Every structure is written in C-alpha cells, then in structure tokens.
Structure 1
C-alpha cells in the first residue's frame, strides 16, 4: 500500500501536502487494513474509496485524468503481480509443506515489491506523459478497461470453485480483447507520430518558402535601389531645368511618374525592419505572418527600429514564438472578417528592445465589436469564431503566469484592439 502511494506521488509529481492530508492518508491506510480479509471484493471497494478520497484531496492541484489514470495503472500492476504470484503458488502447492508455502509466499511478496520499485523508477515519467498528453482520455479508458478485465478474472477465480466452460470462454475473450485494445492503442500512437512528423516537415517546408521569398525580396529591393542609384543623377539633371524655371508642378509630376513606374513602394515595405531581427525563431514567425498578411492584401505596418540579437535570458524563445503567433493569428482572423464585410482592416505591430534589455511587443488591429470585454477574452473556451476552441489568449495567460517579469495588457479603444507585452529585466546588453 505504501509503495502504491509512492507510485502515485511519483507519477503525478504531487506531495502529501498539509497536515490534514496526512490524516486522510492515515485514514485510508486504516480502511485498507480493515478490508484486507475480504478478498477481491474488499479490494474493489477499497480501490473506489482510495480514488474518491485522493480525488477530493488533489483535484484542485492537478488534472483529474492524472489522478484517476495513476490509480488505475497502479491497481493493474498490483492485480497482475498478484495473479502471477497466485499462479506460481498454485503450481507448486501440492509438492510443498505448509511452512515452505508461507516462506515462498513471503518471498514472492518481497519480489512483487521489488518489481513495483523498478516500475516506479523506470516508467513513472513515461506513464505521466501518457496521462497528460493528447491521448490521455484514450489511455485512461484503456487502463480502466484492463482493470475491469483483471478484477473480473480475480473475482471469478476466487469466488467460483467450479469454473464452467462458458466462464473460461468469457475470461479468454476478455483477455484477447485487452491485448487487442493495447495493440490498437500502440497503432494509434504510431499513426499520430507519423502525422506529427509529416506536419513538422510541412511546416519546415513552409518556413523555407517564406525565407526564400524573403531572400528574393531582399535581392529585388537591392536591384531596385541599385537601378535607382544609377538613374538618380540623370533624373536630377532632367529636373534641374524645370526647377530653375520655377515650374515646381512639373518637377512633382515627373517624380510621381518615376516613383509609380520604377518603385513599387508596397513591395519594398513588405518586410520593412525585419532585417533588424537576428533571433532566428522570432524572425521566422514574423516573416511567416507578414507574408500571410501581405498575400491577404491586409494593410499593415511592422516596426523594429533597433537591432535585436538576443532575448532576455530567462525567457523561453518558444513561449515568445507562441505569443507572437497567437496574437498575429487573432489579428489576421479579425481582419479577414472585416474585409469579408467590405470594412477597412489594418494591422500594426512593433518589437523593441531597449538598452537595458527590456523587451516590448505590441500588435494592434481594427475590430468589428468595439465593446469587447478584455477580461472575458482571456477566459479558456471564450471565442467569437465559429468552430473554434477559444484557447488562444487563455494559453497566453498561462505563459504569462510562468514569468514574474512579464506583463501583458489588453485594450479596446476607437475601434482598435491593442495587445501589449513587456518583459522587464536588467540583464540586457546594448545593441547598436
């Protein structure tokens, strides 16, 4: 019983906690001792008591799937070891004295404890990953099903002296089903890994396309600037006479015509200031989002006036990538909705790092609803989008809670939604 609780706390990462929890734990152990002589019926009753009390104790501290799944795994391990021990004792019962039988039973019990200790050290973390991953519901149901199969086998074995052929068939069928269910789960995991790998490869290809497009853009901009530098003296000479004669209007018209025919100002501003970003992960997500916005023909502006070569040391780059990705996606979705209604859309964004290392990120976009509640939009599950789970800003809230120096604010004013994030730190270095 003590090893089972060690197993539980190792999987969940919890601790016993306050003094009241120790009293509850002591009560559970007393109940376990009291029902010890009632066989598997008593064990089944005690298992439900255990799960119920532990769920009440820790439901606010961790996910319910982790609590329920941990116990079903533990119960399965206990029952399977008990079945193996019973089978071994049954094989040699006829050729063993009573004293030898007690000694053997004790040795097998010690061996079972050693096996549990090995499983705790070897597989606790892997079990936790299964119970907290994307397949946690499937894994929990599979574990519950295996527990049901095991407990039925044990009850039939201990309660029925004469096992009819129908019962044997039923138990065999359950075992085959359990093995089949385990096989199906492994196939699901394999298929998911392949899908994730394929998705990652597609994402890498997409990022590669964005980077190639950015490189093409830089080459095109360089060619345009080189051509402009080659021509500007001739242009100035042709405009000099008009300027000397005081014909300012003609000078303006010629300049406008040249700009319109030789410089595509919109294309030149497509990745403005992106060259100041030297953090590859941040630069990549910005390029991807600006490319998407440009292709959707949404008016936008991006600013990064100073060179950013590093981020605050205590901040995970991937967390910032997630925040930037979520906020840009929200702005793009809202802008697409406005354009669909023939309304004006616009996105403005900015990244800044000051001399002391304080990092700022801001993104603004026009919105349809001017009465958005900034508190409500951060709640998990809230969304204004059809068929959407509404986890974006709630996920940002969870990231913000990880960093004491990170501050995020939301504001809706004059038809604009404004997201502003600042990371205060004194570890930054000046970037010229």
Structure 2
C-alpha cells in the first residue's frame, strides 16, 4: 500500500514540475488523459515491469508537452530536464534522510516515506525553478538554429546516463552505497555538463553579437536607402509638377480651353486622386514615432502601391516605444511585408493592411493580405526550409518564428482563413 502511494505521489510530482518548467496554466482534456495514463503507468507498470515504466513515463510526459507546443525538440529537451531534476532531487532527499536518521528510506519503506517524498518535492521544486530561470535567460541561444539541436542532444544524453544508473540501482536492489555513489556521479556529470553548456552558450552569444552588428549595419543601410528612395520620389514629383505647369501654361497662352479641359480631366485630376490616396494611406503612420519602423512601413507601402495593391495602414495611438530589439522587429516586419506583397501581387483582389494596436501592457502588430485559396496547411508552411517560392528561396515561417523566439517577450500567431493570410506579432511592453 505504501509503495503504491509512493509511486502515485511521484507521478504527481513529475507532472507538477513539468507544468512549472513549461509555465503552462490550466489542464486540457488531452493533458488530463495523458496525466491519468502517467499515474497508471507509474503505479501499476512500475510494480510489474520495473524499468519499462521509466521509459513510458518519458513518452507520456513528452506527449503532454507536445500537445501544447508542437515542437518535438523542445518537448524532448523539456521532458529530459524534468526527469533529470526529479532523479537528482530523489537522490538528494535519500542521501539527507540517510544522514539524519541513519536509514535508507528505499529499503525500509516505513511511514517516513511521506517525509522523504515531501523533501524530494521541495528539492525538485527548487532545482526546476532555477533551471527554468537559466533556460529563460538563455532562451534566444538555446532555441536558435545553432543551439537547439546540441542542447536537445545534451539534455537527452544526460538523462540517458541518469536512466542507466537508475536501472543499475533497481537491479542492485536500491542499496544505500549505490544510491550515494550515483548521487556523486550525477553531481560530477551535471557540473561537467553545466560548464560545457555555459561555454557553448558563450560561443553562440559571441557569434550572435557579431551577427547582430552586421544586421544593424545592414538595417542602417536599408534605412538610408529608404530615405534616398523617398527623396528620389520627391524630386520626381517636383519634375513632373514643373512639366504639368509648363503644359498648362501652353494651353492657357494659346487660349485653347477645350484641350485644357480635356488635359485636366484626363491627366491631372487622376494624379491628384492618387496623391490624395497615398496621403490617406500614410496619414496614420505619423503616429509612429520610431523613425526606422516608420521608414520601413512607408517604403514597403510605396512598393505595394506601385504594384496596384490597395494598402491600409492603421496606428491606433502614438507609439514611441516597443520593447524589442529594433533590428529583430525590422527584420521580422521586412520578412512579413515582403512575403505579403509577393503573395498579393499575383492575384486579382490585391489588398494589404498593416495595423499597430497599442494596449496597456502590449503592442500588437497585425499584417493581413489576400492570398490564394489553395495555400498549404500551416504545419507545412512552418517546416524548416520551406518557402512558397521553392527550395532554398525566400524566408518562410520557420525563419520568422525563430526570429520572434529570440525575444522572450514576443509571440507570433499565423492564421489562414479562406483567402486571407494574417500574421500577428504581440510584444509585451512590461
């Protein structure tokens, strides 16, 4: 009875530490199902099949994470971390009780088992919180293209080493000296692994900072080019305006009012409507106080209008601060707008809308464009390396998602509804 209760509570501890590490709230129906299977596996399979239950625990915890995140590498590394933490906490609790009461709790299975579980849970809680803080502070490197695979491989490898040692413990009958020796071995493995991972993160960080400097230079060059383009448009307008005045002067001097009237309605008035339309489109953009963002939106809107795309820009209220690296945001918006313009220019109903919606604690950037009704499913579009332009061309949703993931306070939501394709970047300003 005590043994079954112990296994039940351990399954609950596994689940709680997993939820704390992933910071997911609530309990979905599918999560409830997998949690029930986890409990049954830990209570019944562990008693009859022993080591097999450790592997099925990993599988069930993986399914719980994957149903929320849909990223198998993240799910695998997360579950490995949670299992490593629980195994470590279990051994620390066992070692402390052995020192305090001169008993080996796993051999005695007395009423002290509740105190052992409480102590194990407290250690697991403390270690998982510290591990989560480390993960969050280095998320942009650990989840990047260069860091994701090595980090997943490292965590799975460490868990596998822990698993082999736990299996050895079970086979040897959970003897006190074996558990204590394993605890020392685990500490050494974690120390060496921690130093290795920290060194690797520093290497990625240096590479990232170098790339950021290059990107900042590139964005500054793009910003300058946008200004030059706008200046060129102004010069072109001045030149056209002078030609218009000259042509009007010719009709007036000849008093050719009939042709003057025709010339006005056929050539000048349509141009005035276009100018008015462009001014209307860019009217709300004056509320954007960040010059680099404003320049990028204005330039992309100009490109879209040249392709006869109807552009709508909305900025609900003045924006002078967005809590994200300007380089990251400009790159993300550049990808979204370039893809939107390219997708829209080939269809009949050409429409592109850009909205900046400012709330109390966040800013939502919504870009929506018309699209073909036969686009691939989202899970296909999000595959790494996939682009509607063909292999090795363009920047797909996988690249964009990685860019957004580099900022811990931003999220990206992509939706396809009939002939409408929208992407929403949400940035927390707190």
Q: Partner of 1:3 in structure 2?
A: 13
CA contact (8 A) 1:301 1:349 kept: no
Q: What displacement does 1:7 show?
A: 0.3
1:67-110 deviation digits (Å, cap 9, x = unpaired): 443332233224334555677789x7xxxxxx941399978876
Asked whether 1:286 is paired with 2:297, we answer yes
Q: Partner of 1:385 in structure 2?
A: 390
CA distance in 2, matches of 1:197, 1:311: 33
Q: What displacement does 1:141 show?
A: 1.9
SS of the aligned residue for 1:376 comes to coil
Q: Partner of 1:48 in structure 2?
A: 55
CA contact (8 A) 1:72 1:144 kept: yes
Distance 1:202 1:124, change over 3 A: same
Distance 1:240 1:193, change over 3 A: same
Q: Which 5+ residue runs of structure 2 have no aligned equivalent?
A: 1-9, 107-111, 174-183, 356-364, 402-411, 425-430
1:102-157 deviation digits (Å, cap 9, x = unpaired): 39997887654432221233433654785993344432321121123334456667
Residue pairs, 1:34-45, within 5 angstroms: 34=47, 42=50, 44-45=51-52
Residue pairs, 1:316-395, within 5 angstroms: 325-326=335-336, 328-329=338-339, 331-332=341-342, 350-351=352-353, 374-376=374-376, 378=378, 380-381=380-381, 383-387=388-392, 391-392=396-397
Residue pairs, 1:236-251, within 5 angstroms: 240-243=252-255
Residue pairs, 1:167-206, within 5 angstroms: 182-206=194-218
Distance 1:302 1:283, change over 3 A: farther
Q: Partner of 2:316 in structure 1?
A: 310
Q: Partner of 1:102 in structure 2?
A: 103
TM-score (norm 2): 0.55
Asked whether 1:24 is paired with 2:37, we answer yes
SS of the aligned residue for 1:380 comes to helix
Q: Partner of 1:164 in structure 2?
A: none
CA distance in 2, matches of 1:329, 1:299: 16
CA contact (8 A) 2:351 2:369 kept: yes
SS of the aligned residue for 1:149 comes to helix
Q: Partner of 1:413 in structure 2?
A: none
How many residue pairs get matched?
A: 346
- Identify which of 55, 75, 99 aligns with 2:83: 75
Q: Partner of 1:399 in structure 2?
A: 413
Q: What is the aligned-residue RMSD (CA, Å)? A: 5.9
Distance 1:332 1:23, change over 3 A: closer
TM-score (norm 1): 0.55
Larger Rg: 1
1:395-426 deviation digits (Å, cap 9, x = unpaired): 89x7255xxxxx8542xxxxxxxx57699xxx
CA contact (8 A) 2:413 2:423 kept: no
CA contact (8 A) 2:97 2:104 kept: no
Q: Partner of 2:409 in structure 1?
A: none
Distance 1:325 1:287, change over 3 A: farther
Q: Which 5+ residue runs of structure 1 have no aligned equivalent?
A: 36-40, 93-98, 162-171, 260-264, 339-344, 354-358, 366-371, 402-406, 411-418, 424-432
SS of the aligned residue for 2:162 comes to helix
SS of the aligned residue for 1:374 comes to coil
| Structure with greater contact order relative to length (CA < 8 Å, sep ≥ 6) | 2
CA contact (8 A) 1:328 1:363 kept: no
